Structure 1
Amino acid sequence: MLNDEYWSKLEKILLQESIYNKRNLRMTVEGILYRMRVGCPWRDLPRVFGCWNSIYKRFNAWSLSRKWLNIFKALAVNPDWEWRFMDGSYVKAHQHSAGAASQESQAIGKSRAGNTTKIHLAVDGYSLPVEFEITGGEVNDCSAAPDLIARLPDAKTIVADKGYDSEWLREQITKKGARAVIPGKRNSLKGNADMDWGLYKYRHLVENAFARLKQYRAIATRYDKLKRNYESMVAIACGYLWLPM
């Protein structure tokens, strides 16, 4: 998945994150990307990438130190902050993702589809990911939105669907100096008299981003037991979308 141009760009960022430049570093990263693309168990990685256990240990260590999140942030250079689009999407949690040896919540919850995780995503005007949050599938969009909005730089407009219909959420957006383009629900007392439906039509940009992320099987279905490891996989996928930029 990494041609020479992509690798030269990514390698500099890996070194900035204090990742040791071993001779097999490129193949290690390729092995991680292969697993992201096909969603296979780590032990089923083709031998061409090297020892599967060594690749997993390096991925797990980098995930523990949040290096993949930092790499994603380093790749997301100069996003278009005029418009921001937000949405959430369910991800089916595979049976292998259950049973983590930890007392902490691993962002797997019950929803209509059973055991699920939810990705709350914010994209810029070019449909490129800029922030995301991982929660259990039972967490609604309004509950996860405040933390997500607080981490975003100032923008002119934030666009979201009816799932974000909340006056206190609109107030938070207004306090950040942005305009909220969020339609009211059918039973909303405020109505949609001041709704910018022309701009709302561009909300498909966040749906496009989800479609691009979920082309990778390890993102479309969660196989990782630990939240931080699945979060790292999503960060890798988001960062990969930025590589051609």
Structure 2
Amino acid sequence: MPRLLLTDEFWSKLRKILLQESIYDKRDLRMTVEGMLYRMRTGCPRRDLPTAFGGWNKVYKRFNAWSAAGKWLRIFKALVVQPDLEWTFIDGTYVKAHQHSAGAARSDNQAIGKSRAGNTTKIHLAVDAYGLPIEFDITGGEVHDCKAAPKLIAKLPATQAIIADKGYDSEPLREQIASQGAQPVIPRKRNSTKGNADLDRGLYRYRHLVENAFARLKQYRAVASRFDKLKRNYASTVAMACGFLWLPM
């Protein structure tokens, strides 16, 4: 029997949300979800899923259908209950795109781009004051943090401060944060003429919380390396990982 992730307590909490998403409560629903989580954790080829989860094709078809309908993203949002929004931390991380993720027969952008590391995808993440994920976006690895930040910040709920590293040093970005009623805590680059006299260094020290969140998410191999051809499927895998961090809360 493969190692499972869902305790009875976790499953009871997750099952209610699945039913709210109009997912039919079949007898094998729990093991199907376990199969999706097993693949997220191990990164194994879908055809190599242990038979304990049922047919690999059945597990994939359900995952693909839920992904196309945006269900895993909504399940993640439903698990985000009472986040601590006193502070919000944002950052981005590169994910190596495995060769199996290339070649999707679609004309739209699948968020795989060229960067120094080759073919990569980028996760742009926002976490609350406890370091738990509350929002994320997926782009190609060539997209700079400042380019992806406006869309991510626009989705954030009201917060007192948004903290980011100097890669987000941009006056339009600071203005957007201020317009949303938050304090931008972003160090300026070395060549800036304004300097960092107004930087809240005490608050900036807690920026490691978003780095810690990436470290926790990348324990799951299908997050740390992208194997999915479709952007929506990889986003659903990231949403599963983010949601699983909220299950114990």
For the criterion TM > 0.5, the same-fold answer is yes
Match of 1:107 in 2: 111
Match of 1:239 in 2: 243
Match of 2:65 in 1: 61
Does 2:206 align with 1:209?
Answer: no
Match of 2:163 in 1: 159
Match of 2:88 in 1: 84
1:117-176 alpha-carbon deviations (Å, 9 max, x no partner): 000000000000000000000000000000000001110000000000000000000000
Match of 1:32 in 2: 36
C-alpha separation in 2, matches of 1:145 and 1:189: 23
C-alpha separation in 2, matches of 1:239 and 1:201: 26
Deviation, structure 1 residue 243: 0.1
Q: What do you get for the CA RMSD once the two structures are aligned?
A: 0.4
Deviation, structure 1 residue 190: 1.5
1:171-191 alpha-carbon deviations (Å, 9 max, x no partner): 000000000000000111211
Match of 1:226 in 2: 230
- State the SS of the aligned residue for 1:87: strand
Does 2:153 align with 1:149?
Answer: yes
1:181-227 alpha-carbon deviations (Å, 9 max, x no partner): 00000111211011111110000000000000000000000000000
Match of 2:47 in 1: 43
C-alpha separation in 2, matches of 1:42 and 1:161: 37
Q: How does 1:171-210 map onto structure 2 within 5 Å?
A: 171-210=175-214
- State the SS of the aligned residue for 1:5: helix
Deviating beyond 2 angstroms after TM superposition, the runs of 4 or more aligned structure 1 residues are none
1:5-45 alpha-carbon deviations (Å, 9 max, x no partner): 00000000000000010000000000000000000111000
Q: How does 1:111-122 map onto structure 2 within 5 Å?
A: 111-122=115-126
Unpaired runs of at least 5, structure 2? none
Does 2:12 align with 1:8?
Answer: yes
C-alpha separation in 2, matches of 1:25 and 1:101: 30
Seq. identity, %: 76
Equivalent position amino acid for 1:232 in 2? S
Query: When the two structures are superposed, what TM-score results if normalisation uses the length of structure 1?
Result: 1.00
Match of 1:95 in 2: 99
C-alpha separation in 2, matches of 1:225 and 1:189: 44
C-alpha separation in 1, matches of 2:20 and 2:26: 14
C-alpha separation in 2, matches of 1:227 and 1:154: 28
1:26-68 alpha-carbon deviations (Å, 9 max, x no partner): 0000000000000011100000110000000000000000000
- State the SS of the aligned residue for 1:28: helix
Match of 1:170 in 2: 174
C-alpha separation in 2, matches of 1:190 and 1:86: 23
